[in-house]
C-alpha cells in the first residue's frame, strides 16, 4: 500500500545516539531518527565490514519503512529479507528477457545499456567484444521485425525467446575466436532458468510500487548472474519511472546490499540515484567498504552511515571527513556507527537497536 502520510511524517527510527562519544562509548540516550525528506535527497549509503551489523541495520530500516507504509524492493543475495516480502521473486515464479523493450523505450537504448551491463559484469569482455554484443542485439531486433531502432516501443514489439540470442553472436562477427570467447563468458546466462525460454518479462512493475517485493538471488549460479539480474531490473525500473508522474511522496525504497558489484561510472545504479527521487523512489545502497562508493554516489546521497570498518584504508577514508579517528572506527562494536545527514553540520555516533529488540528498547 502506498503511504498516505505527509512528507514531514516519514521518520525512520534507527537507534540511540551517544552525545558524549568522545569520552564515553557507552552513554546512549536520545533516539536517532532518519528523516529522508529533510535531506537534499532521500538516498542513503551504508558501509560496514563483516560483522559490523550492516544487515541488521538494513532490516531495521525495512521494518520502519513498513510502519510508514512505504513499499520496498530488495535485491536479496543471502535470503536475509524474506520475512518482509509480500511478493517473493525468483527463477521459480518469473522469467526475464534481458533484451526486453518496455513501452516508451527505444531498442537502441536497450542495446547500449545491455551491452554495457554485460561488459562490466564479465570483466574480461573487451571493448571489441562489447561491440560484437551490440551488433548481435541489433540483428536480433531486426529478426524480430524491428527495423527502426530509434522508434520507441508503442506496445507492439514482440521478441524471440532469449535463448535464440546465442545464434546471433555467431552472425555478429567473422572472428570465430571472439565468438567462442563470448559464448564461454555468456554461457551461464543461457543456462539460468530466470532467462530461459522467455519472450517477455513477466513482472508487473506497477506492483513494485504497491507491495513489498524481494528478489531472491541466493540460488543464482554465480555473482555475475546476480549482478546482471539486479542491473537489468534497475534499468527496467528506471524506464518505468519515466512513464510516471513526478511526485514528492515516497512511492518505493529500492534496497541493494553488496552494492560494490554495481558501483561503476555510468552504471544503472548511478542513473537511479540521479533520477529516482523525482518519481518518489528512494535508494539505499550498502557495501562492506566505504571506498566502494564513488564520488557520483556520494554527491547524490542525502544521508551516509558508516559502521565498523575492518580495514585501515577505509577507516582513514572516513576519518578525512572528521567524523572520528581511524582507530575509533575500527574498534566499534556490532551495531555502532556514525550517521551524517545533509541537514546536519556534524556526524552523530549512534547504536542501531536490533530489529528483534525494538519494542523493548524504543
pLDDT in tens, 80-109: 999 999 999 988 888 889 999 998 999 999
Cell numbers describing residue 22: 568522545
Q: Nearest CA to 280 among 213, 231, 210, 339? A: 210
Instruction: Report, as ranges of residue numbers, the positions in the chain whose pLDDT lies below 70.
Output: 1-8, 18-29, 197-202, 355-362
**pLDDT on residue 22:** 47
How many Å apart are CA 214 and CA 156, to the nearest integer? 30
Domain-embedded: residue 355 = yes
| Per-residue pLDDT at 3 | 39
Same domain, yes or no: 236 and 288: yes
* Half-sphere exposure of residue 109: CA atoms within 13 angstroms, side-chain side: 16
pLDDT reported for residue 198: 67
pLDDT in tens, 12-45: 999 888 655 444 455 556 789 999 999 999 999 9
Burial class (CB in 10 A: 0-12, 13-18, 19+), 290: buried
- Mean pLDDT value across the chain: 87
Rounded distance between C-alpha atoms, residue 348 and residue 109, angstroms: 43
Residue where a domain stops, chosen among 195, 229, 261: 195
Q: Is 205 left (phi over 0), alpha (psi -120 to 50) or beta?
A: alpha
**pLDDT of the residue at 200:** 64
Domain that holds residue 121: 107-195
Measured between its terminal Cα atoms, the distance across the chain in Å is 25
Closest CA to 274 of 304, 232, 302: 302
Between the CA of residue 183 and those of 6, 100, 164, 198, 226, what are the distances in Å?
52, 20, 13, 19, 19
CA distance 332 to 51: 11
pLDDT of residue 150: 97
> What pLDDT does 4 receive?
40
CATH at 328: 3.40.50.300
Whether residue 152 is found in the same domain as residue 51:
no
pLDDT at 5: 44
Could you give the number of structural domains in the chain? 2
Amino acid at each position: 500500500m502506498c503511504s498516505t502520510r505527509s512528507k514531514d511524517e516519514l521518520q525512520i527510527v534507527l537507534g540511540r545516539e551517544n552525545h558524549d562519544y568522545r569520552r564515553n562509548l557507552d552513554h546512549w540516550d536520545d533516539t536517532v531518527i532518519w528523516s529522508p525528506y529533510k535531506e537534499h535527497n532521500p538516498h542513503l549509503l551504508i558501509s560496514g565490514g563483516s560483522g559490523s551489523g550492516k544487515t541488521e541495520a538494513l532490516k531495521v530500516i525495512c521494518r520502519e519503512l513498513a510502519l510508514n507504509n512505504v513499499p520496498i524492493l530488495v535485491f536479496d543475495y543471502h535470503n536475509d529479507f524474506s520475512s518482509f516480502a509480500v511478493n517473493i521473486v525468483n527463477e521459480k515464479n518469473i522469467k526475464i528477457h534481458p533484451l526486453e523493450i518496455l513501452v516508451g523505450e527505444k531498442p537502441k537504448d536497450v542495446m547500449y545499456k545491455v551491452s554495457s551491463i554485460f561488459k562490466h559484469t564479465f570483466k574480461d569482455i573487451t571493448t571489441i567484444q562489447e561491440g560484437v554484443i551490440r551488433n548481435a542485439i541489433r540483428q536480433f531486433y531486426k529478426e524480430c521485425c524491428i527495423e527502426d531502432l530509434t522508434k520507441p516501443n508503442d506496445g507492439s514489439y514482440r521478441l524471440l525467446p532469449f535463448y535464440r540470442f546465442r545464434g546471433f553472436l555467431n552472425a555478429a562477427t567473422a572472428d570465430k575466436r571472439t565468438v567462442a570467447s563470448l559464448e564461454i563468458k555468456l554461457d551461464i546466462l543461457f543456462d539460468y532458468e530466470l532467462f530461459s525460454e522467455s519472450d517477455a518479462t513477466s513482472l508487473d512493475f506497477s506492483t513494485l510500487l504497491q507491495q513489498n517485493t524481494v528478489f531472491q538471488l541466493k540460488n543464482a549460479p554465480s555473482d555475475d548472474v546476480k549482478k546482471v539480474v539486479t542491473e537489468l531490473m534497475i534499468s527496467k525500473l528506471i524506464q518505468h519511472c519515466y512513464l510516471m508522474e513526478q511526485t514528492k511522496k515516497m512511492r518505493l525504497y529500492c534496497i541493494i546490499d553488496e552494492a560494490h558489484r554495481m558501483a561503476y561510472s555510468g552504471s544503472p545504479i548511478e542513473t537511479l540515484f540521479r533520477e529516482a527521487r523525482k518519481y518518489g523512489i528512494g535508494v539505499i545502497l550498502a557495501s562492506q567498504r566505504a571506498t566502494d562508493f564513488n564520488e557520483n554516489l556520494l554527491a547524490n546521497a542525502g544521508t551516509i552511515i558508516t559502521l565498523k570498518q575492518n580495514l585501515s584504508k577505509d577507516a582513514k577514508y572516513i576519518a578525512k571527513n572528521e567524523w572520528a579517528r581511524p582507530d575509533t572506527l575500527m574498534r566499534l562494536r556490532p551495531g555502532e556507527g556514525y550517521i551524517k545527514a545533509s541537514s546536519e553540520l556534524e556526524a552523530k555516533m549512534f547504536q542501531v537497536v536490533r530489529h528483534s529488540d525494538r519494542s523493548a528498547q524504543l
